[in-house]
Every structure is written in C-alpha cells, then in structure tokens.
Structure 1
Amino acid sequence: MTAEPAAPDELDYLTFVDYAIARTTAELPAVDATAMRLGLTLHRLTSALVYDWESTVHRPRGWSWGGFRVLFALWLAGPMEAKRVAQLSGMSRAAVSALVNTLERDGLVSRTQAEHDRRAVLLNLTEAGHEAITSAYEAHNAREQAWANALTKPEQTILIGLLEKLTTSPAAMDAKRRF
C-alpha cells in the first residue's frame, strides 16, 4: 500500500491498485477495500505470471498459454477426450478443440477414435509432444522458482495454504459449477 499518486498520468500497473481503491471507496464508501485489494492484487499477479511464462518459455516454442495447458494436461493425465482436457485446464471445449488443431498440425498431439464411443476422440501426446512438454516444463519451473524465491520457504507454505483456502471457498465452489 503506497500513497495515492497525484494524478492519473503518474500511474503504472501496480500503483493503479492504490489509486483505484482510493477512488472507488471515495465514491462508494460501502465497498470492502480489503477484498478489492485482494482481488486486484491476485489478478495482477496472475496476469504477470502468465505473461512471464508465456513470453519467456511458451511463445518462443510457438505455443500460447492455452496450448501449454493442453499439453500439460495430456502429459500428466492423458490420453483423454477433449472435454476432459477442457475440465482439467479450465478452458472451454471450443478453445481446446482449436488449440488441438494447431498442436496436431505441429506433430505434438494425435487423435484416435475412442473404443467406448465411436463419436468420441481421444487426445494423446506424440513422442515429439512428450519431449516438447517435458523440456518446456523444466524451463517453466525455472521461472516458477524465480518468482517463488521472493518468499522464504515458510512464507511459500503459508501462501499456498491461503490460496488453497480461497480455491476451496464457497465462492470458488460456486464458480466451479459454471465451468
């Protein structure tokens, strides 16, 4: 929490949080400034993490963040149907379908007809896909470590516990029903 900048043209990505809270609570005094700060801070952190991972690890490999998420799910839990990839990666079926087209074209994913249902298609990593995702994940994890190293190990454990508490809250459960 820093002092409010003198003017909107002095704002940057992080100081905008303080400015937004000050302006919002001045106009809407009933707003919970702490909840607002939590939401804005989590969103900004998530955006910064994804941007960092995508720009330093995934885009140089020709993947989007979504493409990485598909490969990651298939690597650890596949082979599986596209609808299951969508569930595990938090994406829509349409998004997964579009991403799989590109990943298949690039030789990283293959499709086969499911034995249990002739209409269903199983997605699987190819050998090249497995090699690509494991190599990428090592680089991805190096970036995860760079971010995590801002905290001590006990702080990391506390933060993980707090984030897991948020992800299992009633509000999170309600949001998951809409996935």
Structure 2
Amino acid sequence: MATEGVVRQHQLVHRLYVDHQGWLNGWFRRQLGCTQKAADLAQDTFVRLLAKGNGLDAIHEPRAYLHTIARGLLINHWRRKQIEQAYLDVIALQPEAVAPSPEEQALVIETLMQVDAMLARLPAKVRQAFLLSQLHGMTYATIAIELGVSERMIKKYMAQAMLHCLTLLEDE
C-alpha cells in the first residue's frame, strides 16, 4: 500500500517534469545566462519535489509552486557564489606556497556555507552581535553602543547565539 503512494508520487513528479521542465529550464537560463547551470538547477528543483514525498497531488498551480522552489535554489546559488568569491579573493592574497588544494578549498567553502546557513537562522540583532564579537573582536560594551541596546542585552544575544551553535553541533 505504501508502495502505491510512492508510485503515485513518482508519476506526479514525472507529469510535472514533462509539462514544465522546458519552461523551468528556460527561466533558469534567463536568470543565469548559463545553459549547464540552468539544467542543473532545473533538475535540482525536481529532485526537491521527489524528496518532498506526499502532498504533490494538492498542487493547483504547478508553475507557481515550481517557481517558488526554483527561486529558493537560485538564491542559494547566488549566495554560494558570493561566499566562494569572497573566499577566493582572500586566497588570492596569500602566497602560492600556502594556498590550499582544490579539495581543501571545496571543504572550506562547504563549511562556510553551513556557517552562513546557521547564521541566517539567527534573529538579525543576535547575528549582528555575534559577528561583531567573533569577527571584529568588539567588546560587549562597544557592541551595545553599536546596536543601540544595553550591554545586558548583548550578553543575552551572545548566549542565544552560542546555544544555537551548540544545538547545531549536537545535531551532527
């Protein structure tokens, strides 16, 4: 019985693929200007549908639904490109002898993506306080002035950020 549900979901995804893959691929191509990356992201969109499992038969506006998924993938793509470029800019400033291997670069970029995703889940002021403390070495008093809140609030923000980091480490 569960197998019938899986078969039904695969049929729905196949139908959506047949009906909308060309449109979706074209949309990505216009956004990116790259045929190969457009095809990759279009495929990723349908992989997300497969991973979703149940509920696909409740989609009444397939293009709007696909566009929502595609937009999220595109935002993730652009964000990754920004992070990669920032990292590559830093590497370019290093002497060639200390430059990491391509494998090490890929690992660092993946880690940076995970950190970015973690930070994105924090409330804005908590994230800002955490970054000012950890990246800029600012004191809590200075951060409080910068953010226009009390030093006590900065301590709460930092505790919240640290707790968030710890829960993420436990989830791994």
- TM-score per shorter chain, which class? 0.3 to 0.5
Query: Comparing both structures, which one devotes a greater share of its residues to helix?
Result: 2
TM-score by length of 1: 0.34
Larger Rg computed on CA atoms: 2
Query: Comparing both structures, which one devotes a greater share of its residues to strand?
Result: 1
TM-score by length of 2: 0.35
